[in-house]
Every structure is written in structure tokens, then in C-alpha cells.
Amino acid sequence: MFVGRARSAKIPTLSGEFAAHTLALADALPYLLWTANADGLAEFFNVAWREYTGLSVQESAGLGWFAALHVDDVEEAVFAWERATATGEPYEVRHRVGSRDGTYRMMSGRAIALRDADGKVIKWVGTYADVHDAVEAAARLERANLRYRALLEQIPANVWTANAEGDVEFVSPGWTALSGWSQEAALKKGWLTLIHPNDRDKLQQLWRTSIQTGLPYEAAFRYLNRRTGYYAWASNKAVAVRDADGNVVQWIGVSIDIQRRSLDASAFRYLTAVGAATSRPRAEFWGEIARSAVSTFADASVINLVSASGGTSEAAAAGDPGLIADLRAIADELRANDLVPRAIRSGRPLLAESPSSAVRSAMCVAVGEPPNIGVILLARGASRAPFEPEDAGVMTEVAERARDTVFA
């Protein structure tokens, strides 16, 4: 280190009014100020340095000032100073400087070279500024952020933030758990592309109104669930974060799944009945599933079992006799139109609109995996509302419970 250079330097003496003014200015500064000659050997230290470190000018001169640094920071500081004096580039470091009472504070050090008319380095002027409190505050903030992120990861909901203009900047892992989509997919205005087309304009208007007025935002909407491939209901709430002058600087919101609350009462009754049916003997299970569907969820139900060879046998039927006949009649058509095979391949409920004059809406749900497959066909008549994509979520649960009961 500093090969061929002396570890001490001749301390210059200044005289005259200008020199007195210069020294007074240096001592008035709140920074630890020092100067070094062109070789990088320190010559002068102001009062702030001497009072803080307890080292005299003579003790600090040359390379003696490295003694004030924390032992773990000396090597880095020496390397940075050698590089600066060799290249003439600024010396910029951050390390711990010891005080006369034995404590250390983090300081930001910087020195620049003074040059003559020919560009030759003639002196170095440097300072150390106390940044300890700022560094500690930043560390506390980082620890708080880590705790905050850890907390968000445990909340069974999506917590999100947006800037004052309404662009989403952060979504918690709860978003992926809720929707199946990546966190990146929701950023900025990406989340809007996942909203049901019939809800999108209204949702945008409500959000725009809150952005313009600063009033709390609240809305219920349907979003595309990536895992199921169907739309599900969620609720969004957000409040504005304001600065000291009352200006909105950020929005903090939460999204929760309200699919269960949004399903109509008949769907809940059906799931309850299916849950009760799982305790019945296996031979009676399919009959209970068909009857429960008719009493709560559909107008007719036919359940077929598919053999390994592809043949089918009816396991149960319930409901309006005319609709049952229609379901039986259109079962072959649904197979021919690939609806039943697609339901089996995808493992998801599939819908068919107006497959016959009497059946307004039909749903096909596959249960199990080859070679053990059951196919639930549900029908709603012309007097009832057709099956909605949300109803497929109910049937997904039915299929899971049926699989665990019959094929487990």
C-alpha cells in the first residue's frame, strides 16, 4: 500500500489574512474536513475532525488518519484512496469512523483533486459527512418492509397498491392465490384485461371517479380465474394515502374472493346436499347427486358411467321426465359434437346453450379419470335462466367431491 511513499507528510504552515480566513472557514464547517498533498499524504484536518476523532493533526497526518476508521473498513478505504490518487478520480466511500469515546458512526467520505493550469494534481480536499442516522433509518425501513411483505404473504387476500394516477404498482402473493395469474399480469392496468367484459366499463368508471375525487373505492366484479378458466366474483376496496398537504400520493387496496357469497342460494343448497351425499353408501351416491341437483340447481339430471372401452351406462336420472328424455336424446349428440370428450379431457365443466327446444341450457361435468369416469349432465328448461360460467365453479366442487367419494 502506497509503496515508496512516506507514512507522514510535512505539515504546511499558512500565514496571512487569506490563510486565516481559509482556516476559519474550514473550522466552521460541520463536516470532518482534510487536505492531502499530490501524493495522497494528509496535511491538514479541521477542528471538527480533531474534536470527533480525538486525533491531533500530527497523529492524523500522512496515512495516520486511517487509524480513525473501523478495522473492518480500513482495507476498503485504503484501496479506494490508492485508486483515487493513482487515477485522479474522486475518492468516494462510506464506512465507519471512530470517535474519541470509542463509538463508531457511519460516514460518507469524498475527496476531489485540485489541479494546476496544466491539469496536474497539486492537492486533495476531502470531507467526511455523518450519515449514520440516515443509514440506520434506511435499515429500519428495510426491516419494516420485510416484515410488511412477510405479513402480506400470510394474508388470504390480495393486497395491492397503486400510484396517485391509479396505475397498480404492487400486488401481494394473494393475487396469484386468488386468480392464478402472475403478479406481473396485474401491474399498471393489466388487471383490467382479466375483468369480465360486462363489468369492465363500470369498474373503470368507479375507479376513475375515486382517482379524481379521492373518495374510497369499492366494487364487486367478475374476473377470469386462470386455474378454472371461468369467471369468478371478487370484491375490491381501496383508500387513498395522503401527504401532509392532503394530496393523494398512493392508493392501498384489498381484493377478496366473494364467489361463494355471489353464488345463488340454490347453488349453496346443492353443495350442501352433495356434501351430505358423500356419507351415503356408494351404490346410492349417484342417485343422491342427481336428485339433489334437481331439487336445488337444475331441472333435470342424467348421470352416465363411461367404461374403459368407451361404452356408457346410465347410473342415475332425476327431474322433469320430458327434460330427462331430452338429455338422454342429446347425450349422443353432445358426444358427437365433442362436448363430452372435451369435458373429460379438460377436467372442467362445459356449457351448451339451447341443445334442444325444451332444454334452454345444459352442462356437462366429468368426474374422475380414465378408466373410471362418470359424466353428469344437467339441464335447465326454457323457464329458467341458463347456466352461467359461475355455476361451473359449483360443479367443479361437485366433481371433486364425487371423485373422492366414488373413485378414491
* pLDDT 10s digits, 167-188: 999 988 888 888 889 989 999 9
**Angle separating helix axes 282-296 and 265-277, nearest 10 degrees:** 170
Indicate the pLDDT class of residue 211, thresholds 50, 70 and 90. very high
Say how far residue 75 (Cα) sits from the centre of its chain: 40
Where do the domains of the chain lie, and which CATH numbers do they carry?
17-135 (3.30.450.20), 156-262 (3.30.450.20), 265-407 (3.30.450.40)
Closest CA to 181 of 168, 170, 166, 191: 191
DSSP state of 311: -
DSSP per-residue letters across 174-199: HHHHHHSS-SGGGTBTGGGGGB-HHH
In the chain, what percentage of residues exceed pLDDT 90?
Answer: 39
Number of H helices, E strands in the chain: 13, 15
Q: With 50 as the cut, is the pLDDT of residue 3 above it? A: no
Q: How high is the pLDDT of residue 22?
A: 58
Beta strands in 281-385 (DSSP E): 300-306, 312-319, 350-353, 359-369, 372-381
How high does pLDDT run on average in the chain? 83
Cα dihedral 191, 196, 197, 203 in deg (nearest 10): -60
Average pLDDT (354-366) is 82
Dist. CA 263–CA 390, nearest whole Å: 7
Dist. CA 162–CA 191, nearest whole Å: 12
Cell of 235: 370484491
Closest CA to 304 of 372, 394, 356, 404: 372
Q: With 60 as the cut, is the pLDDT of residue 15 above it? A: no
Longest CA span, the chain: 116
SS3 for 323? helix
Q: With 90 as the cut, is the pLDDT of residue 165 above it? A: yes
Of 207-221, 227-241, 246-260, 347-361, least confident by mean pLDDT is 347-361
* Cβ 218 vs Cβ 162: under 8 Å: no
Dist. CA 395–CA 391, nearest whole Å: 7
Q: CB-hemisphere CA count at 13 Å for 381?
A: 11
Cell of 255: 381484493
Average pLDDT (189-193) is 91
Q: With 80 as the cut, is the pLDDT of residue 79 above it? A: yes
Q: Is 347 left (phi over 0), alpha (psi -120 to 50) or beta?
A: left
Dist. CA 55–CA 242, nearest whole Å: 48
Q: With 90 as the cut, is the pLDDT of residue 90 above it? A: yes
Q: How high is the pLDDT of residue 18?
A: 42
- The number of beta carbons lying within 10 Å of the beta carbon of residue 150 is 9
Q: How high is the pLDDT of residue 7?
A: 47
